Amino acid sequence: MKILVINSGSSSLKYQILEMENESCLVKGLVERIGEQESDIEQESEGKEYKNITKIKDHEEALKKVMELIIDPEYGCLRELSEIDAVGHRVVHGGEEFFSSVLIDEEVIKAIEDNADLAPLHNPPNLMGIRAAKKLLPNVPQVAVFDTAFHHSMPEKAYMYGLPYELYQKHKIRRYGFHGTSHRYVSKKASEILKKDMKELKMITAHLGNGASLAAIDRGKVIDTSMGFTPLEGLIMGTRSGDIDPGIVLFLTRKGYSVDEVDDLLNKRSGVYGLSEMSNDMRDIRKGIENGDKKAKLAYDVYVYRLAKYIGSYITVLKGLDVLVFTAGVGENDEHVRMDVCDYLDFFGVKIDKEKNTLLNRKNGIISASDSDVDILIVKTDEELMIAQDTKRIVEESNDK
Ligand SMILES: Nc1ncnc2c1ncn2[C@@H]1O[C@H](COP(=O)(O)OP(=O)(O)O)[C@@H](O)[C@H]1O
Ligand SMILES: CC(=O)OP(=O)(O)O
Ligand SMILES: [Mg+2]
C-alpha cells in the first residue's frame, strides 16, 4: 500500500509517499512560501533532487504541482497517481470531537471547520490541503490524524483552567495539547528500544522543535501536556513565548497594542528569537554563546530553565519517572540542551552519560549513565510514519466492514 502524507501549514505544504510493505519513504518534499511572489519547491526521491522557485498561488496549486512532481519521469517515484492507495493528513486541532484518527467524510470536514476558531493558524491550511487532495484524488480514501488526539486521556484536573466554568461550556476553553502524533510515536519507540512494556512506565517526552511541548505519560496515557488551548502555552519556543503572566496581554492592549499586534508578538517575535534578538535557531544561539553574545546566552538559559522546571513538575504529577525522551530538532541534535536540562534534574536521579550523549547525538539510543534511576533516550520523531500507519490501519478497517 502506498500512502501520501500531507502536512499543510499556513504557507507551506510538506509531503511524503510511504510504501507500507517495508515502511520506506519513496519521496519527500516541501513547498514553501505559498501565496508569495516566489515559492520554493524541493523534492527528494532515491537520491534524485529537484529544486525550483516559482509562483504558487494557493494550496490547491501547490498540491497540483506536487502531483506532477511525484510522477515526473526524471525526479518522481510513481508512474501514475492511481498508484496512491490513500492519503493521510495532519490536522492540528481536533477539539473535543476526535479521540483518534478518522476516515474523512463531509461530517469530519465540518467538524474540522468548526474547530478552526480554536486554531486559526493551523486548521484552515489543513482544510485547504484536505479539499485540494479530495479534488485531485477524488476516489482515494483520506484520513485525518489529529495533533490533539493523543492528549485526550488527560483528566479534568489537568485540562481545566482556573477560569469561570461557563467559558468551557460556551467556548470550549480548556487545555488540548498538540504534537500528539510525535509524543505517541516517540513514547512507543522508546518502550521498544528499552524492551519494556509501556504499561509499566512513567514517561516524559520532550518534543523540542521550533514549536516545543512536553507530555507526561503514565503507563501509556497522557496525563498532562504543556501546550494548552493553543500551541502558545508552555515551554519557551523558537519564536513563541510559552507561559507568561496573562496580565502582560492586558497591559499591552491598554498601552495601545492591537490584538493582532499582540498575537504577532507572542507567536512570531518572542521565545528564543525575541530574547536573543538574533535567531530562533539553536545552532545560531550556540554560535552566539561561543562568540560571547550575552543575549544569546540569556535566551539559552531561559529556555533550559523553563524546560527543567516543567520536567520537575511532571515528575511530581507522575509521582516518579522511569523514562525521559528527547525528540525533534533541538531534542535530537543539541547535546548541550540535553546535558544542561539533566544537570538540573540530578536530585531526581536523572543522570546523563556525557560520552553517550555526544556519541549518540542525532541517533536513537539510551544516553543515561549506568547509575541513573531514569532511562534517558534520544528518539528521532517521525510524525509522517505515524500518520501513514494510522491511515493504513483505518483504510484496511473500513475495507473490512
Ligand atoms: N544541529 C542542530 N543543533 C541544534 N539545534 C538544531 C540543530 N538542527 C536543528 N535544530 C533546531 O531544531 C529546530 C527545528 O526543529 P524541527 O523539529 O525540525 O521543527 P519544526 O518541525 O517545528 O519546523 C531549529 O529551529 C533549530 O533550533
Ligand atoms: C502545533 C504546533 O505547534 O506545531 P508546530 O510545532 O509544527 O508549529
Ligand atoms: Mg515539527
pLDDT digits (tens, 9 = 90+) for 307-338: 999 999 999 999 999 999 999 999 999 999 99
Q: Is residue 165 part of a domain?
A: no
CA 45, CA 50: separation in Å to the nearest integer? 9
Co-location of 213 and 89 in the same domain = no
Is 251 found in the same domain as 132? no
Say what the pLDDT of residue 115 is. Answer: 86
The yes/no answer to whether this complex scores an ipTM above 0.95 is yes
In this structure, which residue's CA is closest to atom 5 in ligand 2?
211
Torsion 337-269-115-226 (CA) sign: positive
* Ranges 1-10, 283-292, 303-312: which has the least confidence: 1-10
178 lines ligand 2 (CB under 6 A): yes
DSSP 346-359: GGGT--B-HHHHHH
C-alpha cell at 70: 511525484
pLDDT in tens, 338-363: 999 999 999 999 999 999 999 999 99
The answer as to whether 159 is a domain residue is: no
Q: What is the pLDDT of residues 238-248, one digit of tens each?
A: 999 999 999 99
Does 10 share its domain with 126? yes
| Distance between Cα 211 and ligand 2 center (Å) | 5
Average pLDDT, the chain: 96
Read off the pLDDT of residues 372-400 as tens digits, 9 standing for 90 and up.
999 999 999 999 999 999 999 999 999 98
Pairing verdict, β 365-366 and 375-378: antiparallel
With vertex at residue 233, the alpha carbon angle to CA 227 and CA 236, rounded to the nearest 5 degrees, is: 105
- Cell 501536556 found at: 225
Instruction: Give the residue, out of 10, 92, 230, with the most ligand 2 atoms within 8 A of its beta carbon, to mutate for a pocket test.
Output: 92
Note whether residue 160 is domain-resident.
Answer: no
In which residue are the cell numbers 535557531 written? Answer: 281
pLDDT at 10 over 80: no
Give the residue whose CA is nearest to atom 6 of ligand 2: 211
Q: Which residues neighbour 148 within 8 Å (Cβ) at sequence distance 6 or greater?
A: 92, 93, 94, 95, 98, 176, 177, 178, 180
* Enclosing H/E stretch for 323: strand 323-327
> In this structure, is residue 53 part of a structural domain?
yes
Percent share of the chain, pLDDT over 90: 92
- Residue type at 52 in one-letter notation: N
* 348 and 214 in a common domain: yes
Q: How far apart are CA 315 and CA 224, in angstroms?
A: 11
User: How remote is the CA of residue 121 from the centroid of ligand 3, in Å?
Assistant: 15
Whole-number Å distance, alpha carbon 235 to ligand 2 midpoint, is: 12
In a domain, 185, yes or no: no
Supply the residues annotated as catalytic. 147
Question: 399 C-alpha vs ligand 1 centroid, how far in Å?
Answer: 39
Q: What is the pLDDT of residues 177-232, one digit of tens each?
A: 999 999 999 999 999 999 999 999 999 999 999 899 999 999 999 999 999 999 99
Handedness of CA 195, 198, 203, 209 (dihedral sign): positive
Residue 245 maps to a domain: yes
- The arrangement of strands across the sheet holding 365-366 comes to 221-225, 212-218, 202-208, 323-327, 375-378, 365-366
Residue type, 373: D
The pLDDT value given to residue 182? 96
The whole-number pLDDT of residue 314 equals 98
**Domain total for the chain?**
2
Residue whose CA is closest, atom 4 of ligand 2? Answer: 211
Please identify which residue in the block is written with the cell numbers 523558537.
Answer: 238
| Whether residue 120 has pLDDT greater than 90 | no
Q: What is the DSSP letter of 368?
A: B
Determine, yes or no, domain membership for 390.
no
For the CA of 178, the nearest ligand: 2
| CA 274 – CA 279 distance, rounded (Å) | 8
Nearest CA to ligand 1 atom 18: 329
pLDDT digits (tens, 9 = 90+) for 25-38: 999 999 998 888 99
Residue 20 lies inside a defined structural domain of this protein: yes
CATH of the domain at 62: 3.30.420.40
Tell me how far CA of residue 207 lies from CA of 125, 250, 358, in angstroms.
22, 30, 19
Q: Which domain holds residue 37?
A: 2-146
